[in-house]
Amino acid sequence: MLNRYIRAIAGTFVIMSVLLGMFVNPNWFWFTLFVGANLLQSSITKWCLMETILIKLGVRD
């Protein structure tokens, strides 16, 4: 369940930032880069900030 939330949030962030980068300001692409870098970092270290935040909000695996 927790992984589903993380994937949904990351996917939403990527879609939103690409659309904002295309139609509002290209600087939003930096946010897309940040999300991708965070996903890569979490795959290497097995630690994800969004997972920590969701657990503190009461979401259980």
Within 8 A by CB and 6+ apart from 31, the residues are 13, 17, 20, 21
Domain boundaries, the chain: 2-56
Neighbours of 12 (CB within 10 A): 11
pLDDT score for 61: 82
Q: What is the pLDDT tens value at each position of the chain, 61 positions in all?
A: 899 999 999 999 999 999 999 999 999 999 999 999 999 999 999 999 999 999 999 998 8
Return all residues near 2 (Cβ < 8 A) that are at least 6 apart.
51, 54, 55, 59, 60, 61
The answer to whether 20 and 28 have CB atoms below 8 angstroms apart is yes
Count of CB atoms within 10 A of residue 1's CB? 9
Q: What is the pLDDT of residue 39?
A: 95
